[in-house]
Amino acid sequence: MTGQSITTRKGDDGSTSLLYGQRVPKSHPQIEAVGTLDELNVALGAVKMQLDPRDASTGVFIASLQQNLVTLMGEIACAEKDIARYEASKFSRLQADDLTRIDERIALLEAAGLVYDGWATPGANPRAAALDTARVTARRAERRLAELPNHGRNPRPLLLQYINRLSDLLWLLARQAETVQ
């Protein structure tokens, strides 16, 4: 292996860095939000493992959701004072088209008759359980993002809309997966 070690020891004191180097406690609300988004990314990876290999388009779609989460994490990991710097950087930002793709997928599922009222009981099969795990992680990420303005970080409204809609989509996909044997 070449290059730098992942072990910097800078976090041994319980701190970590935001995107442009500002040190904060590892329990900082932005770090909590980024960590929860990272957990959601992992949960979506577990969903991909449960997909039918013949359903490559869903795998590609989920991979695009994962890439969007990486983009979202970058933006959330930026301190409020560094937003202009982030916007001027090479880093990508979540776009309205990203939300539109989720809305379109929701519309397709609903048009196919996939609409449920009330609570679901997760666990019908491994794929549905993986989707429900991703869904509840998305809801937790949404709560973490919604809390950030109380701590001086104001995410763009699109970011909250995206996570909210993503959790709705995951709920529908889990219900769809329950019908697959």
Domains of the chain: 15-92+119-178 (1.20.1200.10)
Across residues 79-102, what is the average pLDDT?
Answer: 96
Q: Is the pLDDT of residue 181 over 80?
A: no
Q: Which helix (H) or strand (E) holds 13?
A: none
Measuring CA to CA, how many Å separate 28 from each of 3, 37, 77, 137? 29, 14, 11, 18
Whether the Cβ atoms of residue 85 and residue 20 lie closer than 8 Å to each other = yes
**CB of 23 closer than 8 Å to CB of 15:** yes
- As a 3-state breakdown, the chain gives helix, strand, coil percent values, each rounded to 5, of 65, 5, 30
Q: Could you tell me the pLDDT band of residue 163, with boundaries at 50, 70 and 90?
A: very high
Q: Indicate the pTM of the whole model.
A: 0.91
